[in-house]
């Protein structure tokens, strides 16, 4: 009997959990945006852990475009209060052209801020800012004004805005020469997430195994494809026609069948199937012809995920049984952490 798509995903994940080597992905990219139109699913913790794994092999540039700046807190901790320049300052300077900007002041050496990154390749970060919360209204009011300038001037002015983050990344990259770029985005599309999509070659989309996240995935795929949605509409105004590829759908908080080892439970299988059906409707957006190759399963990280985010320790550096104080609670790294380590490393190997 021929295996179904979901059977292939489950079988592949079982190989991952056994530590087996999987074939390399057919296509990889230099720049990725981790994006999801739903908050509170661990997106920034995922970005933090992917950043760590990538930094083991590649010089990296990390960017935080979310106004909650959780990714920045993961890297900088309390040092974030001492930062003079943020992404917001660079974006305003790039869009308005009213100030010269020293990009050497914008990036920070991650090894000096987050000790677990020591021993990896040279990695730098552009920190986020709470001021990015107001950025969408500024961005779209400017684009609306530029639309009134006519097809020539309006196009060039709009492109300057929408490519501002991409231009900043190019200027920073000329200084530090990263091989991989990872952008953590807001759970809302407006503003800096739009700029992140314009800057990234590919997207990593975390999808929690619940109905709200399936609807968020549907909206994400519609935003990428449909010309009446904001991404395509404003990009057309700017004469931009490049769309980032969907490189990974990461099903998070997966539950497992207690009777059958390494097999997702019925609820998880239901939502993975829903996500696959959606992906099939928009298969032209994906980086691989066979969309099954773009699906990844991640456990519910339980206490290990909370410890990783709050203590700023990558999951690969956690040891089962070790205890930490998190938000006044004493948490223990659960025994399943070894499963998480395999899953995170497998996902990072695809980037």
- Reported as a single tens digit per residue, the pLDDT across 339-351 is 999 999 999 999 9
DSSP helix/strand/coil, 277? helix
323: confidence class by pLDDT, cuts 50, 70, 90: very high
DSSP helix/strand/coil, 158? helix
The contacts of residue 304 (CB under 8 Å, 6+ apart) are 315, 318, 333, 334, 336, 337, 340
> Buried (b) or exposed (e) across 86-123, using 16+ Cβ within 10 A?
bbbbbbbbbbeeeeebebeebbbebbebbebbeebbeb
Distance between CA 260 and CA 237 in Å, rounded? 53
pLDDT average, residue stretch 218-237: 95
pLDDT per position as a tens digit, 8-37: 999 999 999 888 888 889 899 999 999 999
Domains of the chain: which residue ranges? 5-349
Distance between CA 245 and CA 163 in Å, rounded? 17
User: Distance from CA of residue 66 to its chain's centroid?
Assistant: 11
Does 99 score more than 70 pLDDT? no
From first CA to last CA, the distance across the chain in angstroms is 32
Name the superfamily (CATH) of residues 5-349.
Answer: P-loop containing nucleotide triphosphate hydrolases (3.40.50.300)
Other CB atoms closer than 10 Å to residue 24's CB: what's the count? 9
Output the pLDDT for position 297. 96
Distance between CA 189 and CA 187 in Å, rounded? 7
DSSP helix/strand/coil, 34? strand
Distance between CA 146 and CA 158 in Å, rounded? 6
DSSP helix/strand/coil, 285? helix
Does 3 score more than 90 pLDDT? no
Distance between CA 264 and CA 272 in Å, rounded? 10
pTM of the entire structure? 0.95
Q: How long, in residues, is the chain? A: 351
pLDDT average, residue stretch 54-77: 96
Distance between CA 91 and CA 86 in Å, rounded? 9
Kindly list the distances between the CA atom of residue 34 and the CA atoms of 103, 229, 239, 245, in Å, as whole numbers in the listed order.
Answer: 23, 20, 25, 12
CA atoms within 13 A on the CB side of 332: 5
Distance between CA 197 and CA 216 in Å, rounded? 16
Output the pLDDT for position 1. 41
The contacts of residue 49 (CB under 8 Å, 6+ apart) are 308, 314, 315, 316, 344
Using CA of residue 114, residue 339, residue 14, residue 215, what is the dihedral sign? negative
**Highest-scoring range by mean pLDDT, 79-83, 164-168, 327-331:** 164-168
Residue 314: which of 51, 43, 17 has the closest Cα? 51
95: confidence class by pLDDT, cuts 50, 70, 90: confident
């Amino acid at each position: 009997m021929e295996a179904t798509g979901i059977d292939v995903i489950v079988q592949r994940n079982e190989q991952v959990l056994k530590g087996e080597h999987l074939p390399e992905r057919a296509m990889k990219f230099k720049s990725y945006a981790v994006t999801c139109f739903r908050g509170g699913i661990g997106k920034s913790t995922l970005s933090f852990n992917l950043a760590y794994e990538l930094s083991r092999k590649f010089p990296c540039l990390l960017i935080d475009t979310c106004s909650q700046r959780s990714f920045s807190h993961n890297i900088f901790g309390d040092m974030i209060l001492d930062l003079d320049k943020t992404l917001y300052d660079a974006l305003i300077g790039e869009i308005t052209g009213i100030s010269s900007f020293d990009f050497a002041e914008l990036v920070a050496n991650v090894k000096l801020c987050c000790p677990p990154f020591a021993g990896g390749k040279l990695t730098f970060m552009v920190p986020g800012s709470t001021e990015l919360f107001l950025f969408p209204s500024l961005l779209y009011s400017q684009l609306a004004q530029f639309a009134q300038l006519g097809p020539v001037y309006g196009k060039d002015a709009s492109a300057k805005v929408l490519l501002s983050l991409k231009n900043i990344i190019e200027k920073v990259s000329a200084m530090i020469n990263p091989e991989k770029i990872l952008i953590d985005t807001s759970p809302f599309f407006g503003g800096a997430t739009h700029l992140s999509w314009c800057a990234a070659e590919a997207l990593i989309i975390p999808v929690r195994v619940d109905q709200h996240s399936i609807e968020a995935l549907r909206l994400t795929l519609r935003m990428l494809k449909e010309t009446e949605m904001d991404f395509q509409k404003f990009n057309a105004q700017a004469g931009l026609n490049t769309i980032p590829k969907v490189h990974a759908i990461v099903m998070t908080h997966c539950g497992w069948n207690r009777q059958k080892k390494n097999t997702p439970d019925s609820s998880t299988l239901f939502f993975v199937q829903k996500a696959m059906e959606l992906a099939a409707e928009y298969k032209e957006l994906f980086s691989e012809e066979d969309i099954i190759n773009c699906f990844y399963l991640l456990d519910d990280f339980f206490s290990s995920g909370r410890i990783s985010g709050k203590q700023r320790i990558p999951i690969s550096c956690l040891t089962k049984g070790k205890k930490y104080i998190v938000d006044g609670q004493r948490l223990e790294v659960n025994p399943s952490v070894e499963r998480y380590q395999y899953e995170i490393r497998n996902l990072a190997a695809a980037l």
